[in-house]
Amino acid sequence: MPKKEVAASHHSTLSAQPRIHQYAREIQAYGTVSSMMTLELEEPVRLEMTEQLNLLLADTMTLRDLYKKSHWQVAGPTFYQLHLLFDKHYDEQVEIVDTIAERIQLLGGIALAMAADVAETTRIPRAPRGREEAPVQISRLLDAHQVIIRHCRQLARRASQLGDDGTNDLVVSDVLRINELQAWFLSEHLVEVPLVHAEEPPIRKAG
């Protein structure tokens, strides 16, 4: 075909009109991993790690959203402090979500993304739609952190056994340590101390 005809044929396929409502088969099924020979991690290892990381991702996304719910709905004399703290922790959990999801994709897997899929996968109990008291909100968040912290310790050990040092480092450095720190910040708010006066020590009698 002459060059002019090739150019004309190619030009005829181009259009400024958007091609909307497109559908096709998935290019990769969930629960599978693509070939990643450059990682030097066998497929069974990457399958197990992506499955476990998706569990961690689902719980982290749930905790993230639980922080935003608490941020919006908190009430009481500590409203301002908790309102800011919950939002700070939310932002940190957002970063963790991206870090975990990117690791899953890097390993050749498919990261969970949609709320319905997360709800079916997470091991964190669903919170009520309504507003709860601040101590209950904090306790609920602490329980969620405990689920994630426990899984992090198990997953880090397993990743180390399988030789997946990248996942081990991510779980310990980027997920576990931040969750431990956030849990500490929360737990200190549940220490029962007076807000406006200190209790006087008992007077010791002489002799």
pLDDT at 14: 87
Quick one: average pLDDT of 16-29?
93
Give the phi and the psi of residue 76 in degrees, each rounded to 5.
115, 180
Asked if 50 and 38 touch (Cβ cutoff 8 Å), the reply is no
pLDDT at 145: 98
Domain over 28-124+133-189 is classified CATH 1.20.1260.10: yes
* Structural element, H or E, at residue 175: none
pLDDT digits (tens, 9 = 90+) for 80-139: 999 999 999 999 999 999 999 999 999 999 999 999 999 999 999 999 999 999 999 999
> Is the pLDDT at 7 greater than 90, yes or no?
no
